């Protein structure tokens, strides 16, 4: 059961992390492991915003080595090359570490990239870049980069036969890459490990005020979003603003501070989920849309997702939805890239929308795209000992967390003993006698839901079915299965019959509003 928020009133911590996405959760985990007394809060559920709406790529970094116009770009602009090389090196090392420590939450795939006559590089350039990356990670990850002639690629690989302008293709390159399988669980595991290490974690807890104290520390006013009458004030010398798209809003909440420099620009990204021929399974393709922005078609079990859109967003950050115009744009652009794919609106099984907090740059309307996961000390903005990370990419969550720990160490000695964080994926115990929630995914049992309800801080069915388990992302959930799930967790969560009905209706409303599936279609993914 949730500890009442009023019990936190007056508590003092070393660090308070505001924002329970992957950056906040990982930073809190690493700080707790380093011996700090940490509080991690989020105004919604853990991993409920950008983390769960990402492109899910655990990319090796190869695309960052590609020049925009010419190979001379990097010679003429060494700073640009240094940034690109740094991003690529950080990517391959982060990917290799994740695959070595948490392989259960990664999926292998082969990415396809067509090289045309008007591109500034050849197939051998790509192979050379792949070998460089393998060397940078000391051979811990093999990219298995291969080059095909246009004719051989069309005969042997999926997608290529659908491409437009096949007469301009000089070669096709494929390489081994990975994606995060169930990123919400990666974030949740980090938060739960923070708790195991002695940290305090609390979802559905909103920071309503920040005020500098006489001793130089910070007071944070809190409100329970599930019981708004419950409030508390806590304090800490160091604050982590890990609020993602809400970073600027949180900075503007500081009492007595009139204005702070803008840190992020909100970019809306939408993806759509479709079912392609079986030959495409395990393969993805990368290209560009007519705005010269990246567009991909990535595997997701038996399905594929297409995206993202790239639009500046100035709407309600708490209510970001995929619109019909977003879906139409993606269908139109993927059909332009690959006319032979011939996707139609009826082919879209599900969609999702999220906001990426790109680092703000007044000269760039859609933000500064590299480097990723930019650590910033806001002391120069008049916010001493408030730290943030902008354009936080899920693949860099551990390296960014270590940078946060190093900065906190420079300000504050850890009062507790150092411990080892756990990166292992958490597993539910074998519940062989428990029936599955849905037949198409027998590995998730009703007993798993009950255990999660008892131990993992869910507040409702959306938390359980989209984040504690992966069922929301792996197939349509029949109404009777949703009802069975509500009954299974009613005891641990204290739900009466009316509350169960409310949770079922809330879950369906969430799916309809934020994923827009075709209710008449029975699809299985995962």
**Closest residue by Cα to residue 25 from 337, 389, 492:** 389
The helix (run of H) or strand (run of E) holding residue 79 is: helix 78-101
How far is residue 5 from each of residues 201, 410, 442, measured CA to CA in Å?
A: 11, 31, 37
Q: For residues 323 and 225, is the Cβ–Cβ distance under 8 A?
A: no
Per residue of the chain (526 residues), give pLDDT as tens: 688 999 999 999 999 999 999 999 999 999 999 999 999 999 999 999 999 998 899 999 999 998 766 667 777 888 888 999 999 999 999 999 999 999 999 999 999 999 999 888 888 889 999 999 999 999 999 999 999 999 999 999 999 999 999 999 999 999 999 999 889 999 999 999 999 999 999 999 999 999 999 999 999 999 999 999 999 999 999 999 999 999 999 999 998 877 889 999 999 999 999 999 999 999 999 999 999 999 999 999 899 999 999 999 999 999 999 999 999 999 999 999 999 999 999 999 999 999 999 999 999 999 999 999 999 999 999 999 999 999 999 999 999 999 999 999 999 999 999 999 999 998 888 877 899 999 888 889 999 999 999 999 999 999 999 999 989 887 779 999 999 999 999 999 999 999 999 999 999 999 999 997 654 444 444 4
Q: What residues have CB less than 8 Å from 399, skipping those under 6 apart?
A: 90, 93, 94, 373
15-18 and 38-41 as β-strands: parallel, antiparallel, unpaired? parallel
* Whole-number pLDDT of residue 308: 97
Q: How many CA atoms lie within 13 A of 76 on its CB side?
A: 7
**Closest residue by Cα to residue 461 from 442, 485, 478, 427:** 485
CB atoms within 10 A of CB 249: 12
Cα-based angle 186, 243, 352 (whole degrees, multiple of 5): 60
* Whole-number pLDDT of residue 256: 82
The DSSP line for 330-351 is: HHHHHHHH-GGG---GGG--EE
* Whole-number pLDDT of residue 69: 64
What is the C-alpha separation between 230 and 223, in angstroms, rounded? 6
Cα-based angle 437, 440, 441 (whole degrees, multiple of 5): 55
* Whole-number pLDDT of residue 76: 82
Give buried/exposed letters for 14-34 (b at 16+ CB in 10 A, else e): bbbbbbbbbbbbbbbbbbbbb
Q: What residues have CB less than 8 Å from 259, skipping those under 6 apart?
A: 252
Write down all domains in the chain, each with its CATH number in brackets.
428-526 (1.10.8)
pTM: 0.95
How far is residue 232 from each of residues 8, 157, 223, 240, measured CA to CA in Å?
A: 6, 59, 7, 18
106-116 and 283-288 as β-strands: parallel, antiparallel, unpaired? parallel
Q: Tabulate helix, strand, coil % of the chain (nearest 5).
A: 40, 25, 35
Give buried/exposed letters for 114-136 (b at 16+ CB in 10 A, else e): bbeeebebebebbbebbebbbeb
- Distance, C-alpha 396 to centroid of its chain: 10
- Do you find a cis peptide bond into 3, omega within 30 degrees of 0? no
- Copy the structure tokens of residue 268: 């809306």
Q: For residues 518 and 348, is the Cβ–Cβ distance under 8 A?
A: yes
- Do you find a cis peptide bond into 335, omega within 30 degrees of 0? no
């Amino acid at each position: 059961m949730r500890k009442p928020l009023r019990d936190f009133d007056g508590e003092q911590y070393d660090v308070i992390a505001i924002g329970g996405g992957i950056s906040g959760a990982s930073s809190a985990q690493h700080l707790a492991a380093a011996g700090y007394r940490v509080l991690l809060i989020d105004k919604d559920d853990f991993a409920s915003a950008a983390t769960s709406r990402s492109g899910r790529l655990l990319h090796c970094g190869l695309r960052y080595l590609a020049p925009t116009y010419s190979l001379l770009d990097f010679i003429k602009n060494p700073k640009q090359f240094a940034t690109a090389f740094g991003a690529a090196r950080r990517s391959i090392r982060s990917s290799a570490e994740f695959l070595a420590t948490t392989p259960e939450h990664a999926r292998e795939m082969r990415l396809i990239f067509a090289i045309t006559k008007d591109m500034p590089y050849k197939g051998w350039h790509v192979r050379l870049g792949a070998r460089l990356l393998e060397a940078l990670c000391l051979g811990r990850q093999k990219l298995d980069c291969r080059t095909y002639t246009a004719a051989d690629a069309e005969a042997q690989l999926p997608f290529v036969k659908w491409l437009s302008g096949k007469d301009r293709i000089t070669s096709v390159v494929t390489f081994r890459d990975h994606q995060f399988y169930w990123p919400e669980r990666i974030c949740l595991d980090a938060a739960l490990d923070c708790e195991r290490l002695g940290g305090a974690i609390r979802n559905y807890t909103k920071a309503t005020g920040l005020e500098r104290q006489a001793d130089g520390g910070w007071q944070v006013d809190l409100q329970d979003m599930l019981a708004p009458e419950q409030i508390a004030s806590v304090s800490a010398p160091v604050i982590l603003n890990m609020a993602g798209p809400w970073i600027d809003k949180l900075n503007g909440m500081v009492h007595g501070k009139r204005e702070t420099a803008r840190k992020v620009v909100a970019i809306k990204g939408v993806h759509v989920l479709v079912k392609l021929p079986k030959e495409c399974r395990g393969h993805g393709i990368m290209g560009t849309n007519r705005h010269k922005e990246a567009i991909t078609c990535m595997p997701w079990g038996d399905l594929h997702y297409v995206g993202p859109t790239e639009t500046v967003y100035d709407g309600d950050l708490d209510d970001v939805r995929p619109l019909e115009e977003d879906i139409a744009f993606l269908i139109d652009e993927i059909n332009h890239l690959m006319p032979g794919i011939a996707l139609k609106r009826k082919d879209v099984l599900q969609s999702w929308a999220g906001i990426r907090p790109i680092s703000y740059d007044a000269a760039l309307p859609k933000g500064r795209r590299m480097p990723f996961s930019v650590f910033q000390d806001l002391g120069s903005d008049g916010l001493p000992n408030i730290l943030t990370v902008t354009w936080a990419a899920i693949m860099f969550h551990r390296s960014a967390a270590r940078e946060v720990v190093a900065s906190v160490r420079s300000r504050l000695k850890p009062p507790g003993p150092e411990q080892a964080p756990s990166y292992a994926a958490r597993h539910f115990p074998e519940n062989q006698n428990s029936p599955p929630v849905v037949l198409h995914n027998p590995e998730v049992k009703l007993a798993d839901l009950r255990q999660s309800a008892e131990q993992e801080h869910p507040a409702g069915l959306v938390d359980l079915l989209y984040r504690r388990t992966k069922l929301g992302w792996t197939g349509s959930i029949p109404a009777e299965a949703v009802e069975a799930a509500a009954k299974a967790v009613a005891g641990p969560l204290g739900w009466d019959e009316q509350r169960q009905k409310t949770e079922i209706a809330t879950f369906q409303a969430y799916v309809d509003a934020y994923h827009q599936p075709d209710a008449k279609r029975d699809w299985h993914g995962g």
